[in-house]
C-alpha cells in the first residue's frame, strides 16, 4: 500500500530523476522473432510486497522454468516506498530491471520519459490478450502506446462493517444513492452509535470522491494533455457539500488523527468507508474480524445513470525500454499475467486477475468473491478509464488529503483550501 506521508517526496524526487535520463532506448531483439531454447538468458524481475508474495513469485518462476529452462529469473522485492526509491535511482542511471511490477500513479512519468518498452508489437502474439477486456488493456495506454498491462483491476467502492450495523440496528447502506442521501444514512448510524461509532468519515477529504463527483457530470480531473479539467467553483461546491459530514455526522477529524495511519473503518470508529475494493484484506487485518463482518456496496452517485466509476489497475507489469531481451521479457510477462497455474498460486494477492484466463485458476475466498461480484454489479456505472494520472499525481493526491484533514479540524476555510489546492496543482504541473 502506498505510504501517503512519503508521497510528496517520492513524487517530486522521481520526476527530477527521470528528467536526468532523457529518452530510454528500445530492446535490441526483433519483436517478431522467437526464443532460441539453447540461448541462456537472465532476466531481472522486481516487485513490491512481503515474504508471502515473494514466495508466490518463487513458485511461479519454478513453473515458468519448466517451460523455459534456459531463462533464469533473478527476483528482488521491497516495500512499496522503497521499491520506488530504488527505481528512481535506477531510472537516473538507465538501468531499470527487465520486468517490473508497476503502479498506475507512475505510469505516465516513466512512459513519457521513454523508460518503458512499447508492448504493442508483442500484444496478441507473445503476450496473449484474449483473456483481457478492451477496457482492461486500455488502462496501460499512454500517448497511444501500451507500456504496461494490468495484473488485476479494482474499482472505487464502499466497505461496510456489518458488526457495527448489527449493533446499531441500522439497515445496510443500499448503494447508488445521492451523496446527500448517504449523509442522511450516516447520520442514522451516528445517532444510534451514541458517540462511540459513526456512519463514516468525511467523504470530501478524498480526491477519488471528487473525481467520481466530476465524472458524474461528464468530466475527468485532468485532460489527456495533463491540463486541469475542473474549476475553482466546482471544487468549492464539492467541499461545501461535505460540510454536513464535518459538522457532526462523520467521525470527528480529531479522533481520526489519534488512530492514523488507520482510517475510520479500519479503526472500528466508522461503519463505512469509501475506498478501492481491494482494501478489504487490510480492513480484516486492522479489525481482526471474520470475512463475514465486511460487505461491499456501490458508492454514492452524483447523477443517476452516470458512468462515473471505472476499473483501475491494482498493479501492473511493465518491461524496461533498456532490456536486452524484450522477447524473453514479454514471454515472462505473458506467463505471469495469463497462466492459470499462476492464478492458483497467487489467488487474489495481486487483486482479482484482469485476465479471465488466469482468473479461471483462482479459488476465490468469501471476501474475494464479494469483490468479484461487486465489480460485476457495477457494470452499468463503469465508464472509460480517465487519462493516465498526470506526472506528480501522488503529490496532488496527498495535498488534497492534507487539506481535507485541515477542513475537518477547522483550521482553514473552504475558500482557503481551494486556493491552496489549485496553487499546488499549478506548481506540480508546471515544475
pLDDT tens per residue across span 22-78:
433 333 345 656 788 889 999 999 999 989 899 999 999 999 999 999 999 999 999
Same domain? 303 vs 319: no
- 14 and 148 together in one domain: yes
pLDDT at 10: 42
Q: Are residues 188 and 229 in the same domain?
A: yes
Q: Are residues 255 and 396 in the same domain?
A: yes
Determine the 3-state secondary structure of 297 from DSSP. strand
- Same domain, yes or no: 271 and 419: yes
Decide: 371 and 278 in contact? Cβ < 8 Å: yes
Q: Are residues 98 and 239 in the same domain?
A: no
What is the per-residue pLDDT for 12? 39
387 part of a folded domain: no
CATH code of the domain in which 266 resides: 3.40.190.10
3-state SS assignment for residue 193: helix
Question: Does residue 270 sit within a domain?
Answer: yes
pLDDT at 14: 44
DSSP 8-class letter at 158: E
Domain that holds residue 222: 156-308+392-430
On whether residue 381 sits in a domain, the answer given is no
Residue ranges of the chain with pLDDT lower than 50? 1-29
State the pLDDT at residue 348.
87
Backbone φ and ψ of 208, nearest 5°: -65, -35
Are 286 and 325 in the same domain?
Answer: no
Residue 255 lies in a domain: yes
Q: What is the pLDDT, as a whole number, of residue 30?
A: 58
Same domain, 131 and 236: no
CB distance 417 to 403 below 8 Å: yes
Closest CA to 115 of 331, 391, 328: 391
Burial call 286-322: b when 16+ CB within 10 Å, e when fewer: bbeeeeebbbbbbbbbbeeebbbbbbbbbbbbbbbbb
**Same domain membership, residue 118 and residue 48:** yes
The answer as to whether 144 is a domain residue is yes
Whole-angstrom distance, CA of residue 400 vs CA of residue 415: 14
Let me know if residue 404 belongs to a domain: yes
Residues in the chain: 431
Tell me: do 284 and 260 sit in the same domain: yes
Strands 99-102 and 41-48: parallel
Residues 204 and 295 in one domain: yes
Residue 228 counted as domain residue: yes
What pLDDT does residue 25 have? Answer: 37
Asked, for residue 384, whether it belongs to a domain, the answer is no
Q: Supply the pLDDT for residue 29.
A: 47
Pairwise CA distance, residues 155 & 208, whole Å:
11
Q: Which residue, 264, 296, 243, 259, is CA-closest to 199?
A: 264
Q: Domain tally for the chain?
A: 2
Pair 147, 218 in one domain: no
Amino acid at each position: 500500500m502506498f505510504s501517503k506521508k512519503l508521497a510528496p517526496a517520492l513524487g517530486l524526487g522521481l520526476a527530477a530523476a527521470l528528467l536526468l535520463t532523457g529518452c530510454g532506448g528500445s530492446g535490441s531483439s526483433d519483436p517478431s522473432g522467437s526464443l532460441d531454447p539453447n540461448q541462456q538468458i537472465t532476466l531481472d524481475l522486481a516487485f513490491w510486497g512481503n515474504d508471502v508474495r515473494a514466495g508466490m513469485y518463487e513458485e511461479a518462476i519454478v513453473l515458468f522454468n519448466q517451460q523455459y529452462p534456459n531463462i533464469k529469473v533473478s527476483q528482488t522485492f521491497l516495500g512499496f516506498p522503497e521499491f520506488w526509491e530504488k527505481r528512481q535511482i535506477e531510472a537516473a542511471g538507465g538501468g531499470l530491471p527487465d520486468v517490473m511490477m508497476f503502479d498506475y500513479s507512475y505510469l505516465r512519468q516513466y512512459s513519457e520519459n521513454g523508460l518503458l518498452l512499447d508492448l504493442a508489437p508483442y500484444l496478441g502474439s507473445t503476450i496473449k490478450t484474449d483473456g483481457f477486456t478492451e477496457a482492461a488493456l486500455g488502462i496501460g495506454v499512454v500517448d497511444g502506446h501500451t507500456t504496461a498491462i494490468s495484473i488485476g483491476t479494482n474499482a472505487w467502492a464502499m466497505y461496510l462493517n456489518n458488526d457495527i450495523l448489527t449493533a446499531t440496528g441500522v439497515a445496510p447502506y443500499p448503494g447508488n444513492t445521492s451523496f446527500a442521501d448517504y449523509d442522511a444514512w450516516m447520520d442514522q448510524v451516528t445517532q444510534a452509535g451514541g458517540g462511540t461509532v459513526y456512519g463514516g468519515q468525511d467523504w470530501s477529504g478524498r480526491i477519488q470522491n471528487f473525481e467520481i463527483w466530476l465524472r458524474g457530470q461528464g468530466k475527468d480531473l485532468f485532460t489527456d494533455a495533463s491540463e486541469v479539467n475542473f474549476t475553482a467553483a466546482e471544487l468549492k461546491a464539492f467541499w461545501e457539500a461535505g460540510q454536513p459530514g464535518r459538522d457532526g455526522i462523520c467521525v470527528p477529524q480529531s479522533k481520526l488523527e489519534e488512530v492514523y495511519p488507520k482510517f475510520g473503518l479500519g479503526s472500528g470508529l466508522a461503519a463505512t468507508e469509501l475506498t478501492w475494493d481491494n482494501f478489504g484484506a487490510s480492513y480484516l487485518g486492522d479489525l481482526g474480524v471474520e470475512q463475514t463482518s465486511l460487505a461491499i456496496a456501490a458508492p454514492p452517485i452524483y447523477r443517476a445513470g452516470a458512468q462515473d466509476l471505472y476499473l483501475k489497475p491494482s498493479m501492473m507489469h511493465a518491461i524496461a525500454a533498456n532490456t536486452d531481451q524484450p522477447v524473453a521479457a514479454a514471454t515472462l510477462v505473458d506467463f505471469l499475467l495469463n497462466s492459470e497455474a499462476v492464478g492458483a498460486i497467487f489467488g487474489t494477492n495481486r487483486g482479482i486477475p484482469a485476465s479471465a484466463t488466469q482468473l479461471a485458476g483462482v479459488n476465490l475466498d468469501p471476501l474475494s468473491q464479494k469483490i468479484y461480484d461487486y465489480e460485476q454489479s457495477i457494470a452499468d456505472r463503469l465508464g472509460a478509464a480517465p487519462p493516465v494520472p498526470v506526472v506528480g499525481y501522488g503529490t496532488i493526491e496527498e495535498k488534497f488529503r492534507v487539506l481535507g484533514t485541515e477542513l475537518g479540524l477547522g483550521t482553514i476555510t473552504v475558500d482557503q483550501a481551494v486556493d491552496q489546492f489549485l496553487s499546488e496543482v499549478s506548481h506540480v504541473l508546471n515544475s
